[in-house]
C-alpha cells in the first residue's frame, strides 16, 4: 500500500510535509505491537491516527476500544479499565468486564492519558509490564494481550517533571511518539480539509 492509498483508506487528509512524515512513521510502526504515544492539541486528529494504526495492524480484525481518561470520574476509572466483581463496592450489582478485557487481542486507545490519576497510573503500569490484572474485588488474575495507544494534549515530560505523571509509565508508553501538528502550522492542508468536509 502506498502512502496516498493509506491516507485515502483511513481518512487522513493532508499533503503537507508534516502529514507525509507522520503517515510514513505510522505505516512502519502499525505492524508491530509497540506502544505509541500521540501528541496533539484537541481536534488535530489523534483518534484518526490511532484508528489508522489499529486498522493497519495485525490486530485489525479485533476490537479497538477508545477510552477518554479525562471524561471518566477518578473514582470510576479503575473499575472502567479493569472491571469489578459483584458486591465489590456500592452499586456493583453484577460482575463487569473492564476495557482491558473487552479489548483483549485488540487495541486499547487511552485518550487524554495525562488526566489519569496517579493511583490508576500505578495499576496501568503493572498491566503493561505483566499483561495481567485483577478486577476490583477479585482474587483471580486475568491475563490479556492488548496493544496500547495513548494520546495527550499535554506535554507528558512536563507532567513528569511536575510529579503529576509517573516517569516509568511515561517511558513505557513513549516507545514511539507522534506529534500531530495543528492546522495553523500546515496551512496548505486547510483547503483540502474544507473540501473534504463540504
| Per-residue pLDDT band at 71 (split at 50, 70, 90) | confident
Arithmetic mean of pLDDT, 61-76: 89
CB-CB contact of 84 with 95 (8 Å): yes
Measured in degrees and rounded to the nearest 5, phi and psi for residue 141 equal -85, 135
Helix, coil or strand: residue 178: strand
Q: Specify the range with the lowest mean pLDDT, choosing from 15-19, 58-62, 84-88, 192-196.
A: 84-88
- pLDDT tens readout for residues 87-99: 666 666 677 788 9
Arithmetic mean of pLDDT, 65-83: 86
Say how many residues make up the chain. Answer: 198
Per-residue pLDDT, 87: 60
Per-residue pLDDT, 110: 95
Answer positive or negative: Cα dihedral of 108, 99, 117, 137.
negative
Whether 159 has a pLDDT exceeding 90, the answer reads yes
Per-residue pLDDT, 147: 94
| Whole-number Å distance between alpha carbons of 181 and 22 | 10
CB-CB contact of 41 with 182 (8 Å): yes
Arithmetic mean of pLDDT, 14-21: 92
Q: What is the CA radius of gyration of the chain?
A: 18
102: left (phi over 0), alpha (psi -120 to 50) or beta: alpha
Answer positive or negative: Cα dihedral of 152, 110, 68, 123.
negative
Pairing of strands 64-68, 132-134: unpaired
Closest-CA residue to 135 (of 81, 66, 90): 81
| Whole-number Å distance between alpha carbons of 29 and 36 | 8
| Per-residue pLDDT band at 141 (split at 50, 70, 90) | confident
Whether 138 has a pLDDT exceeding 80, the answer reads no
pTM equals 0.88
| Whole-number Å distance between alpha carbons of 94 and 71 | 23
Arithmetic mean of pLDDT, 24-38: 93
- Using CA atoms in the order 52, 55, 56, 62, what is the torsion angle rounded to 10 degrees? 150
Instruction: Count the Cβ atoms, other than its own, within 10 Å of residue 128.
Output: 15
Per-residue pLDDT, 91: 66
| Per-residue pLDDT band at 151 (split at 50, 70, 90) | very high
Kindly state the percentage of the chain with pLDDT values over 90. 57
| Per-residue pLDDT band at 134 (split at 50, 70, 90) | confident
- Grid cell, residue 41, equals 492539541
Per-residue pLDDT, 90: 63
Arithmetic mean of pLDDT, 23-43: 92
| Whole-number Å distance between alpha carbons of 109 and 111 | 6
Amino acid at each position: 500500500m502506498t502512502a496516498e492509498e493509506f491516507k485515502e483508506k483511513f481518512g487522513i487528509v493532508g499533503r503537507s510535509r508534516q502529514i507525509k512524515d507522520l503517515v510514513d512513521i505510522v505505516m512502519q510502526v502499525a505492524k508491530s505491537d509497540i506502544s505509541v504515544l500521540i501528541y496533539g492539541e484537541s481536534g488535530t486528529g489523534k483518534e484518526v491516527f490511532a484508528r489508522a494504526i489499529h486498522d493497519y495492524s495485525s490486530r485489525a480484525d479485533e476490537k479497538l476500544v477508545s477510552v477518554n481518561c479525562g471524561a471518566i470520574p477518578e473514582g470510576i476509572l479503575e473499575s472502567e479499565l479493569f472491571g469489578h466483581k459483584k458486591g465489590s463496592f456500592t452499586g456493583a450489582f453484577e460482575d463487569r468486564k473492564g476495557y482491558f478485557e473487552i479489548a483483549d487481542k485488540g487495541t486499547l486507545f487511552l485518550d487524554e492519558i495525562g488526566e489519569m490519576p496517579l493511583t490508576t497510573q500505578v495499576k496501568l503500569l503493572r498491566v503493561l509490564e505483566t499483561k495481567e490484572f485483577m478486577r476490583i474485588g477479585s482474587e483471580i488474575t486475568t491475563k490479556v494481550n492488548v496493544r496500547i495507544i495513548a494520546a495527550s494534549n499535554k506535554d507528558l515530560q512536563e507532567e513528569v517533571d511536575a510529579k503529576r505523571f509517573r516517569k516509568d509509565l511515561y517511558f513505557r508508553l513513549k516507545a514511539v511518539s507522534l506529534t500531530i501538528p495543528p492546522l495553523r502550522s500546515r496551512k496548505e492542508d486547510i483547503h483540502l480539509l474544507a473540501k473534504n468536509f463540504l
